[in-house]
Amino acid sequence: MKTALCLAVLLGALARSARADDADKPPPYRPGFKRMMVVVLENADYKKAVQQPFLKKLMRRGATLTNYHAIAHPSQPNYVALVAGDTMGVTGDGRQDIGLYERELGDLFEAAGSTWTAYAEGWPGKCFRKERSGRYARKHEPFISFLDIQTVPMRCARIKDASELDKDIASGDLPQFALYTPNMDDDGHDTGVAFADRWLAKRFGPLLDDPRFMKGMLLVVTFDEDSGTRGNHILTVLVGDSVKPGAKSGHRYDHYSLLRTIEDAFGLGTLHRHDDEAEHIDGIWRNQ
């Protein structure tokens, strides 16, 4: 009897201690934005990207991650890593069909009752699975490679031609998360980073001053990979009211860090892959 009583007292003390520890913990990570859009450009070294005029403008207006790295070469594994927390065995740019029960970022948003969209320039629609259509390249649109999206019309309808973005802004139907992938010219893949910078200025420059787009928005501009070096050092810039203008972070981040930032900011949980061990992006937010 005394043993049972002692055990109850001990358990009670441990419970009170746990509650006290919880009370001392900092509040959940919430950097202050309500929507997020990630724009992915192609194949540019950090040193070359920071020389581009519009990207310089974004760096002044937003925050720059000066020690951000891609995951792999060539392109496609990086796109998959960004939405899945792992390259999922993808090593090249050819057609990939990733297992039916393999979860990705869209699953987390849907489970949380939140909205996501992939805006892809030149997207043909109707769960299109071929590798190319005009200037659209499947290797740059990662969601369609997951069987649980490509085989479910209602889910692959979340992938839209990028021209739909303006309609969604006008109607107030922006999702909470969006991945924007330009075509093979606009992303710089076939044209170079200077061309991509001019496209970015034309496409997103006006939106920076449009409150219908920017209110509560975090706009992230990154690159899939560099020109092929071992370091894979790329530029990533974050712009929005939640970011300190002109802030810089030299902490080492990568695509898994960006995924973890999305997961933590929207309270989604993780995919239990490399995102589990990744740090979310920190030190650049106004509320810090």
pLDDT number for residue 128: 97
Cβ within 8 Å of residue 195, ≥6 positions away = 185, 186, 188
pLDDT number for residue 10: 38
**Quick one: tokens of 270?**
């993780």
Nearest-angstrom CA–CA distance, 60 and 72: 29
The average pLDDT across 102-109 equals: 98
pLDDT number for residue 100: 86
Domain that holds residue 217: 33-277
pTM listed for this prediction: 0.91
CATH classification of the domain holding 258: 3.40.720.10
**Is residue 112 pLDDT above 80, yes or no?**
yes
The average pLDDT across 138-153 equals: 97
pLDDT number for residue 66: 98
Nearest-angstrom CA–CA distance, 105 and 56: 30
Structural domain contains residue 11: no
Structural domain contains residue 111: yes
| Residue 281 confidence class, pLDDT cut points 50, 70, 90 | very high
pLDDT tens digits, residue range 194-241? 999 999 999 999 999 999 999 999 999 999 999 999 999 999 999 999
**Is residue 21 pLDDT above 60, yes or no?**
no
Cβ within 8 Å of residue 152, ≥6 positions away = none
Q: Are strands 35-41 and 132-133 parallel, antiparallel or unpaired?
A: unpaired
pLDDT number for residue 288: 73
Structural domain contains residue 251: yes
**Quick one: tokens of 142?**
């990662």
Question: Would you say the C-alpha torsion 154, 160, 165, 167 has a positive or negative sign?
Answer: negative
Exposed, middle or buried: residue 9 (CB in 10 Å: 0-12, 13-18, 19+)?
A: exposed
Structural domain contains residue 5: no
Annotated catalytic residue within 161, 190, 197, 226: 190
190 is catalytic: yes
Structural domain contains residue 15: no
The average pLDDT across 24-31 equals: 57
Q: What are the start-end ranges of the E strands in the chain?
A: 35-41, 63-69, 116-120, 132-133, 136-137, 159-161, 177-181, 217-223, 233-239, 248-249, 253-254
Q: How many domains does the chain have?
A: 1
Q: What is the mean pLDDT of the chain?
A: 92
pLDDT number for residue 28: 54
Structural domain contains residue 108: yes
State percent of the chain over pLDDT 90. 88
| Residue 162 confidence class, pLDDT cut points 50, 70, 90 | very high
Structural domain contains residue 254: yes
Structural domain contains residue 70: yes
Count Cα neighbours of 65 within 13 Å in the Cβ-side half-sphere.
Answer: 28
Exposed, middle or buried: residue 164 (CB in 10 Å: 0-12, 13-18, 19+)?
A: middle
Nearest-angstrom CA–CA distance, 123 and 48: 29
State percent of the chain over pLDDT 70. 90
Q: Which of 19-28, 87-96, 205-214 has the lowest mean pLDDT?
A: 19-28
